[in-house]
Amino acid sequence: MRQEKQLLRLAVCLLLGLLLHGPAVAKRPGGSPVQVFVLAGQSNMQGQGVVDLDHPQHYNGGKGTLLQVLQNTKTPDRYAHLQDDEGSWVVRADVHVRFRVKDGDLEEAVKKGGLSIGFAGYPGRHHIGPEFQFGHVVGDHYDQPVVLIKTAWGGKSLYKDFRPPSAGGETGAYYTKMLGEVKEAISSLHTDFPHLAGRKYELAGFVWQQGWNDMFNEQALEQYEDNLVYLVQDVREAWGEPKLPVVIGELGNGGDKAGQNMLILRQAQAAAAERKELKGNVAFVKTTAFARPADQSPNVGHGHHWFGNAESYFLIGDALGEKMLELVSRRK
- Which residues have CB under 8 Å from 300's CB, separation 6+? 60, 294, 307
- Which residues have CB under 8 Å from 101's CB, separation 6+? 46, 108, 109, 110, 111, 120, 121
pLDDT at position 221: 98
Q: What angle do CA 235, 241, 243 make, to 5 degrees?
A: 100
What size, in residues, is the chain?
332
- What string of pLDDT tens digits covers the 332 residues of the chain? 555 545 555 444 444 333 333 333 333 345 689 999 999 999 999 999 999 999 999 999 999 999 999 999 999 999 999 999 999 999 999 999 999 997 555 567 999 999 999 999 998 999 999 999 999 999 999 999 999 999 999 999 999 999 999 999 999 999 999 999 999 999 999 999 999 999 999 999 999 999 999 999 999 999 999 999 999 999 999 999 999 999 999 999 999 989 999 999 999 999 999 999 998 899 999 999 999 999 999 999 999 999 999 999 999 999 999 999 999 998 76
- Which residues have CB under 8 Å from 18's CB, separation 6+? none
Cα–Cα distance between 81 and 152 in angstroms, integer?
A: 26
Report the b/e string of 256-266 with b at 16+ CB within 10 A: eebeeebebbb
pTM here is 0.90
SS3 call for 263: helix
Please report, for the domain that includes residue 231, its CATH number. Answer: 3.40.50.1110
The amino acid occupying position 47 is: G
Q: Give the residue among 217, 222, 212 at the shortest CA–CA distance from 253.
A: 212
Instruction: Count CB neighbours of 171 within 10 A.
Output: 15
pLDDT at position 102: 74
- Decide: 208 and 41 in contact? Cβ < 8 Å: yes
Report strand pairing: 201-209 vs 246-249.
Answer: parallel
The amino acid occupying position 264 is: I
Number of domains present in the structure of the chain: 1
How many angstroms separate the most distant Cα atoms in the chain? Answer: 57
The residue segments making up the domain with residue 189 are 2-331
Q: Give the residue among 25, 15, 200, 202 at the shortest CA–CA distance from 114.
A: 25
pLDDT at position 23: 36
SS3 call for 87: coil
Q: Give the residue among 185, 133, 178 at the shortest CA–CA distance from 325.
A: 133
Task: Round to the nearest angstrom and report the end-to-end CA distance of the chain.
Answer: 23
